[in-house]
């Protein structure tokens, strides 16, 4: 599904990613943890095609294609979805309108007819229910005045609507209360399929109790310095990151 080799990226002369290697197979869930500023969101942005970041070395294969050659909207149409750490507000643009547009562009890309209003509505209700999102929000402007938790649910709701092949979730758990975390995690689990992969960026082991990862990676200073099973998350929770930093330096 996804194969990242020796990926280097920088912004404004500052190197952020310093050789990321990561392979995600279809149907797998990978968690990425790591201290603030280590480059997790940067990795997500680079994969989604944010142009501010300049890739200076390495390559990324997505379903056998050179991902870095693709325009950001093309990546989305090819099934790459990013649940943003900080979802963006679009004043005046209703959720309804926005999602209709997104879905129909996707369908057009695949040579399908636009979704009928009825079918759209039905699908929307089902997906909103999946993450317990108030359907009233659909008539409001995208993320405009949404609470922190609503914004996060809204990302997963869109994930459900757009049915990606590769879903990257950037700290979806931050800002969710305990019950909401459970709901959203259940929603994500319901979306797990053997042809869909997840990259889950998080600071908290708790999320991984619900969304059980196949592999946990630790990112420090722009590199993945350790990978392991889900126990690794428990270790990190107990010991913090310093021991990994020290071991990395020792190596």
- Positions in the binding site for ligand ATP (CB under 6 A): 11-12, 14, 16, 34, 36-42, 52, 85
Residue 164 Cα distances to 13, 135, 156, 194, angstroms: 33, 22, 11, 12
Task: Tell me whether residue 19 or residue 27 sits nearer to ligand ATP (CB atom).
Answer: 19
Check if the beta carbon of residue 165 is closer than 8 Å to that of residue 63: yes
Which of other proteins, ligand ATP, Mg ion, none interacts with 72 (beta carbon under 5 to 8 A by kind)? other proteins
Residues 23-62: x where in contact with Mg ion by CB under 5 A, - otherwise, as a string: -----------------xx---------------------
Place of tokens 């309804």: 96
Place of tokens 């938790």: 149
Helices of type H across 131-220: 148-162, 178-191, 205-210
Cα angle 225, 229, 231 (rounded to 5 degrees) comes to 100
Check if the beta carbon of residue 170 is closer than 8 Å to that of residue 198: no
Which of Mg ion, other proteins, ligand ATP, none interacts with 91 (beta carbon under 5 to 8 A by kind)? other proteins
Which of ligand ATP, other proteins, Mg ion, none interacts with 36 (beta carbon under 5 to 8 A by kind)? ligand ATP
Q: Which residues bind other proteins (CB under 8 A)?
A: 48-52, 71-73, 76-77, 81-82, 84, 87-93, 97-99, 101-102, 105-106, 109, 141-142, 158, 162
């Amino acid at each position: 599904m996804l194969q990242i080799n020796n990926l280097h990226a920088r912004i404004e002369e500052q190197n952020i990613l310093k050789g990321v290697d990561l392979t995600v197979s279809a149907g797998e869930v990978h968690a990425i943890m790591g201290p603030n500023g280590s480059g997790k969101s940067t990795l997500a942005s680079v994969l989604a095609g944010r142009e501010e970041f300049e890739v200076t070395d390495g390559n990324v294969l997505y379903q056998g294609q050179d991902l870095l050659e693709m325009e950001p909207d093309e990546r989305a149409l090819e099934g790459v979805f990013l649940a943003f750490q900080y979802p963006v507000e679009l004043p005046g643009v209703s959720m309804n309108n926005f999602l209709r547009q997104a879905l129909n562009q996707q369908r057009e890309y695949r040579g399908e007819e636009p979704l009928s209003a009825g079918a759209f509505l039905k699908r929307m209700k089902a997906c909103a229910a999946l993450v317990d999102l108030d359907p009233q929000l659909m008539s409001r402007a995208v993320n405009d005045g949404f609470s922190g938790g609503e914004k996060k649910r809204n990302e997963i709701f869109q994930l459900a609507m757009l049915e990606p092949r590769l879903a990257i979730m950037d700290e979806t758990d931050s800002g969710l209360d305990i019950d909401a975390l459970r709901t959203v995690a259940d929603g994500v689990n319901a979306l797990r399929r053997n042809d869909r992969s997840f990259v889950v960026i998080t600071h908290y082991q708790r999320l991984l109790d619900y969304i059980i990862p196949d592999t946990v990676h630790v990112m420090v200073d722009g590199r993945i310095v350790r990978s392991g099973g889900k126990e690794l998350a428990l270790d990190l929770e107990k010991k913090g990151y310093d021991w990994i930093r020290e071991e990395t330096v020792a190596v």
